[in-house]
Amino acid sequence: MSQIFHRSANTIARVSIFGAVFFVAGLLGLLAEVNRSPWMTDARTAREQPIQFSHERHVAGNGIDCRYCHTSVEDSSFAGIPPTKTCMNCHSEIFSNSPFLEPVRDSFRTGTSIQWTRVHDLPDFVYFNHSIHVNKGVGCTTCHGQVDRMPLMYQQNSLQMEWCLDCHRNPEKYVRPRSAVFSVDYQAPEDQEALGQKLVAEYQIQKLTSCSTCHR
């Protein structure tokens, strides 16, 4: 019989077997990364909105408190999206004829709602309650990021379960004094750990990782 394969076949064979291992490993790693990437989570991508509303302008610029618009954040699961009325409180006076605000005026005139595109959207089987988090000293910016520097609103964090669990497992890393919950320029102190410990004790913050805490 004569040779079926060329010399190089030996090297090729071994390399391919050896390489396969790394290839598969790499592939899995990539998958994991993709799952966490903004492409999956939509994090850090601004949504198309009917009105070019700028949180930066309203929060940083005019220093409006979160609760002025998101009224129910302290006592409901839902923080609340301001009704057109709220916009008109000011914009009937200010920029009352700016073309950008036409949709708002139109909505107010015709009584049809403005249709915003949802930015923070949890799956339907997840039950998040704003009021309890706010009451336990979880600041707005902790989850929503520096809203005051977002000309167009985007989702700061992945909102994936591992991200939720991070805080539910060790809240002391994130909690702040109730007084500071709504301040957008709150900076975590050097001794966050110590402060955290203290607040966790003071606010009786529990580390809730039971399934039914969020899933029902």
Partner 1 sequence: MKRPPLVHGLLAEFDDPTSLVEATERAHHEGYRCMDAYSPYPIEELHHALGSPKSRLPLIVLIGGILGLLGGLWLEYWVSAITYPLNIGGKPFASWPAFIPVAFECTILGAALSCVFGMLALNGLPMPYHPVFNVPRFALASRNRFFLCIESSDPRFDIDRTRHFLETLNPREVSTVAD
Partner 2 sequence: MAEPTSSQSQVIAPGHTFGTVTDQISAIVLTRKTSMGWYAGFSVALFFTLVLLVSLTNLVITGIGIWGNNIPVGWAFDITNFVWWIGIGHAGTLISAVLLLLKQSWRTSINRFAEAMTLFAVSCAGIFPLFHTGRPWLAYWLFPYPNTMNIWPQFRSPLIWDVFAVSTYATVSALFWFVGLIPDLATLRDRSQSKVGRFIYGLLAMGWRGSAHHWHQYETAYLLLAGLATPLVVSVHTVVSFDFAVSILPGWHTTIFPPYFVAGAIYSGFAMVMTLAIPIRAVYKLEDFITMRHLQNMAKVMLVTGLIVAYGYLTEAFIAWYSADKYEGFVPLNRLTGPYAVAYWSLILCNIIIPQLLWLKKVRLNVPLLFIISIIVNVGMWLERFVIIVTSLHRDFLPSSWGMYSPTFWDWSTFMGTIGLFLTLLFLFVRFLPMISIAEMRAMLPEAKVNE
Partner 3 sequence: MNSELRRALSRGIAGSEERGQSSSPRTKDTFWRTLDEQAEDPAFQEHLYNEFPSEIEAITDPVARRSFLKLMGASIALAGVTACTKQPAEKIVPYVKQPEELIPGKPLFYATAMTLGGVATGLLVESHEGRPTKIEGNPLHPGSRGATDVFAQAAVLGLYDPDRAQTLTNIGDIRPWAAFIGAMRAALTAQQALKGAGLRILTESVSSPTLAAQIRDVLARYPSAKWHQWDPASRDNARGGAKLAFGEYVEARYDFSQADVILSLDADFLSSGPGALAYARQFAARRNPQDAERMNRLYALESMPSSTGAKADHRLPLKPSQIEGAARAVVAGLRGSAGDDSGLGPAEQKWITALAKDLSAHRGRSLVIAGDQQPPAVHMLAHVINQDLGNEGRTVVYTQTVEAEPTSQVESLRALVADMNAGKVDVLLILGGNPVYTAPVDLAFSAALDKVQLRAHLSLYSDETSQRCQWQIPEAHFLESWSDARAFDGTVSIVQPLIAPLYDGKSIHEVMATLGDRPERSAYEIVRDHWKIGKDDSAWRRWLHDGVMPNTAFGAKAVRFQPNLQHTTPRPEPGIEVSFRNDPSVLDGRFANNGWLQELPKPITRLTWDNAVLVSPATAARLQSRERPATTGGEHGNIISDVVDLKYRGRIVRGTMFTVAGHPDDCATVHLGYGRTRGGHLANGAGFNASSIRTSDALGFGGGAEIALTGQKASLACVQYHHLMEGRGMVRAVTREEYVNDPKSIREGDETPPRIITLYPDMPYQGYKWGMAIDINSCIGCNACVVGCQAENNIPVIGKDQVMRGREMHWLRIDTYYRGAVDNPETFFQPVPCMQCENAPCEVVCPVGATSHSAEGLNDMVYNRCVGTRYCSDNCPYKVRRFNFLLYQDWDTPSLKLGRNPDVTVRSRGVMEKCTYCVQRINAAKIDSEKGNRAVKDGEIKTACEQACPADAIVFGNLNDPSSRVSKLKAEVRNYELLGELNTRPRTTYLGAVRNVNPELGE
Minimum separation from the CB atom of position 92 to partner 3 (A): 13
CB 180, CB 186: distance < 8 Å: yes
Tell me whether residue 11 or residue 179 sits nearer to partner 3 (CB atom): 179
Longest dimension (CA), the chain: 96
Tell me whether residue 160 or residue 197 sits nearer to partner 2 (CB atom): 160
- Orientation of helix 102-110 relative to helix 84-91, angle to 10°: 120
| Residue 22 interacts with, from partner 2, partner 3, partner 1, none (CB under 5-8 Å by kind) | none
Q: Please give the residues from 126 up to 155 whose contact with partner 2 meets the rule CB under 8 A.
A: none
| Partners of 43 in the β-ladder | 155
Q: How far, in Å, are 86, 100, 102, 216 from residue 109 at the CA level?
A: 14, 16, 10, 40
Q: Please give the residues from 7 up to 36 whose contact with partner 3 meets the rule CB under 8 A.
A: 35
Q: Does 5 bind partner 1 (CB under 8 A)?
A: yes
Tokens in use for 3?
A: 């040779």
Strand, coil or helix: what is 43?
strand
Distance CA 169, CA 39 (A): 27
Q: Does 115 bind partner 1 (CB under 8 A)?
A: no
- In a 13 Å sphere around the CA of 47, the CA atoms on its Cβ side amount to 18
Interface pick for partner 2 out of 48, 93, 124, 162 (rule CB under 8 A)? 162
CA 112 to chain centre: 28
Per CB under 8 A, the segment of 50-58, 72-80, 88-96, 157-165 that binds partner 2 is 157-165
Strand, coil or helix: what is 155?
strand
Minimum separation from the CB atom of position 165 to partner 2 (A): 5
Q: Does 4 bind partner 1 (CB under 8 A)?
A: yes
Interface pick for partner 2 out of 36, 47, 178, 207 (rule CB under 8 A)? 36
Q: Does 177 bind partner 3 (CB under 8 A)?
A: no
Tell me whether residue 42 or residue 166 sits nearer to partner 3 (CB atom): 42
Distance CA 60, CA 41 (A): 27
Q: Please give the residues from 10 up to 29 whose contact with partner 2 meets the rule CB under 8 A.
A: 10, 13, 28
Minimum separation from the CB atom of position 17 to partner 1 (A): 7
Applying CB under 8 A, which residues contact partner 1? 1-10, 13-14, 17, 165, 209, 211
